Structure 1
Amino acid sequence: MSLPEYISTIKNFLTEHGFPDKIDAAVILGSGLGGFGDEIENSDSIPYYDIPSFPQSTVEGHSGSLIFGEVDGKNVLAFSGRFHHYEGHDFAKTVLPVQLASAFDVDKLIISNAAGGINLRYHVGDLMIIDSIIKQYTMVSEPAENTWSSSFEQYAQEVRTIARDLNIETQMGTYLFVKGPNYESKAEIKAFRKLGGDAVGMSTAPELIEAAKLGVKTAAVSLITNAAAGVTGEKLDHGEVKEAADKKKDVFAKLVKGLIEKF
C-alpha cells in the first residue's frame, strides 16, 4: 500500500467513526502536555491501537490517543502522543500526524513539545515560539528550495503577537533537533549553544518540515521543562519534564486555545 493510500485508509476509518471530512485545527501534544485534551468539548477519543496499522506511542507522558471535538466552536483534532525516531519509527512515520492533518484539510496545525533550555536566559516554565530549527540529519523528503525556513519566522511573529494579546510571556528562538533517546552531554550542549540553539529536543523538526512541504500553516511552541545538561549541574530525568508541564498546563492551554481561534 502506498503512503497516500495508507493515509486515505486511516482517514476513511476515522470518518466512519464520526470524524468530519474537514477539520479546522489540529494539535500535536508534546510530553506531559496531553492534558489539553480536557479542554476539548463534545469530545471523542480513539486509542492509537484501535486504528488499523497506526503506530504506537510508547513514551511516558504520551497517552497514545486521537481526540476529536470542539474548541470555541471549531472542530479540533488532537494527537495525544507522537512518534519519535528513537522509539524505532522511521522518519516517515514520525510525520504521520502532519500528513493526516493535511488529509483533513486543516486550516492550521499547532505543534508543541517539551524541550531542554540551552539559552542561559531561559527558565523552566518558559514558552518558546520556534522561529528556526537546527537539524543534523536528512529526516524527510524536503522541498528542493529552502522555502520552509522563511515560513517559520513569518508564522512565529504571528504567534508571538497572539500571545502578547493574551498577556502570555514568550521567548522566541531556535530549536535544535537530536535523535535521542539519551539526554545530551555537557560538551554537546556547549557546542549546540555555539551553533545558535536556544532549546533542544527529540521531535518537532521533521513535523515542521513536512508541514511546510504540504503547505499547512503551522505554529510551533516549546515548553522549557528542564535546563539542558551543564546549565545547572543537576541530573536530568523525565520526571521533571512532566512536573514542569503540569505546572504550566493552564497557560499552555490558554495559548493553544488562542491560536485555534486567531492564528
Structure 2
Amino acid sequence: MAIDPMQQIQETVSFLKEQYPHQPEVGIVLGSGLGNFANAIAIEKEVAYEDIPNFPVSTVQGHKGRLIFGELSGKKVVAMAGRFHFYEGYTPQEVVFPVRVMKLLGIQTLLLSNAAGGVNPDFKVGDIMIIKDHVSFFTPNPLIGKNIEAFGPRFPDMSEPYKKDLIVTAKKIAGNHGFDIKEGVYVAVTGPTFETRAEYKLIFTLGGDVVGMSTVQECIVANHMGIKVFAVSIITDLGIREEENVITHEEVLQAAKEAEPKLATLFTELVASI
C-alpha cells in the first residue's frame, strides 16, 4: 500500500502541536557546526528527532538532531539543530519533510544556514556569504513526483528564491555591526565527497561563489509553499586556489564555530525585523 505523504506530514504536525501549543512564525535550519546558535533562543521545548513520528534522523557529526521551539527577538520560532542530506541516503522528499512540517506548524519565513566551500577567489575562511541565488542542477529536485496541490503549483516560480527585502535588511544589520558580509551564488552538489580541483574550477566557471551539499532542496520546497527564504553560507574551506590543501570535516566544523557569533547576531536581528 502506497504511503500518503500528506497523511505522514499531518501525523507529524499533530504530534508536535501536542508537544508545543504555540504557532511559530519563523523556521530556522542550522547547518554543520552551527548548532550552538540554538543557545540564542529562549528554549521552551526540545524534541529529539528520533522521538518525532515519520522524522528522519541526522547521522552527521556537527548536527545535534533535535527540534527546538522557543522565542527569539520576541517571536515564536522553530529551529532544526541538524538537518538531513541526500548523501545520508535519504530521498529528496525525506530531506525536505521538516520544511513541509514547519509550514503546517505556521511558519511564514525560513532562515537557512550552511557550511560551504569558497570558490570565489576573493573569499576567505570565516566569511559569511548571503545566498542571493543558487544552481541546483547537480542535485535531485525534491518536487519530482506527484505534486501536492495543497502545498503549491506543479511548476513553481524560482525567479526570487531568496527574498530581496530580507537580503537588504541583513546587509544593514552587518553594516551596523561593522562586519564584512559577502553575497553570491550557492552551487549545490550531492556530496559526500569534497570536490576535486577540476570540479571547483568548473563550479567557478559556471558562476558559483560557494559550493555545498544542502540548502537548495529546502529552499525549493519552501518557495513551492509560499515561504519567504533567507540563507547564508559560512565559508569553511577554500577549494580553488590552494593547490596543496586537503579539506577535513573537522576543519569545516571549527571554521563554522568561529563564525557563529556573527551568524547569531545576523539571525537574531533579522528575526526582530520580520
Could you tell me the TM-score, scaled by structure 1's length?
0.93
1:125–1:224 CA contact under 8 A, matched in 2: yes
Cα gap change, 1:223 to 1:19, in 2 (>3 Å): farther
Cα gap change, 1:146 to 1:166, in 2 (>3 Å): farther
Offset of residue 230 of structure 1: 5.0
2:69–2:77 CA contact under 8 A, matched in 1: yes
Q: Which amino acid aligns with 1:88?
A: G
Aligned counterparts of 1:19 and 1:232: Cα–Cα separation in 2: 53
Aligned counterparts of 1:150 and 1:254: Cα–Cα separation in 2: 25
Q: Deviations over 1:190-233 (max 9, x none)?
A: 01100000000000011111111110011010010111255352
Which residue among 149, 161, 175 is the counterpart of 1:164? Answer: 175
Offset of residue 14 of structure 1: 1.0
Map of 1:129 onto structure 2:
130
Q: Does 1:109 align with 2:119?
A: no
Q: Which amino acid aligns with 2:200?
A: I
Map of 2:65 onto structure 1:
64
Which residue among 217, 233, 237 is the counterpart of 2:248? Answer: 237
2:28–2:77 CA contact under 8 A, matched in 1: yes
Offset of residue 139 of structure 1: 1.4
Aligned counterparts of 2:6 and 2:178: Cα–Cα separation in 1: 41
Cα gap change, 1:207 to 1:3, in 2 (>3 Å): same
Which residue among 176, 187, 192 is the counterpart of 1:176? Answer: 187
User: Which aligned pairs between 1:32-111 and structure 2 lie closer than 5 A?
Assistant: 32-111=33-112
1:66–1:78 CA contact under 8 A, matched in 2: yes
Cα gap change, 1:144 to 1:219, in 2 (>3 Å): same
Runs of 5+ in structure 2 lacking a partner?
145-152
Q: Does 1:27 align with 2:49?
A: no
Map of 1:10 onto structure 2:
12
SS of aligned partner of 2:84: coil
Aligned-pair identity in percent equals 37
Choose 50-59 or 28-37, whichever is displaced more: 50-59
Choose 28-37 or 89-98, whichever is displaced more: 89-98
SS of aligned partner of 2:170: helix
Could you tell me the TM-score, scaled by structure 2's length?
0.90
Offset of residue 85 of structure 1: 0.3
Offset of residue 161 of structure 1: 3.4
Offset of residue 144 of structure 1: 5.6
Choose 230-239 or 104-113, whichever is displaced more: 230-239
Runs of 5+ in structure 1 lacking a partner?
none
Cα gap change, 1:72 to 1:50, in 2 (>3 Å): same
Offset of residue 149 of structure 1: 2.9
Map of 1:152 onto structure 2:
162
User: Which aligned pairs between 1:191-230 and structure 2 lie closer than 5 A?
Assistant: 191-228=202-239
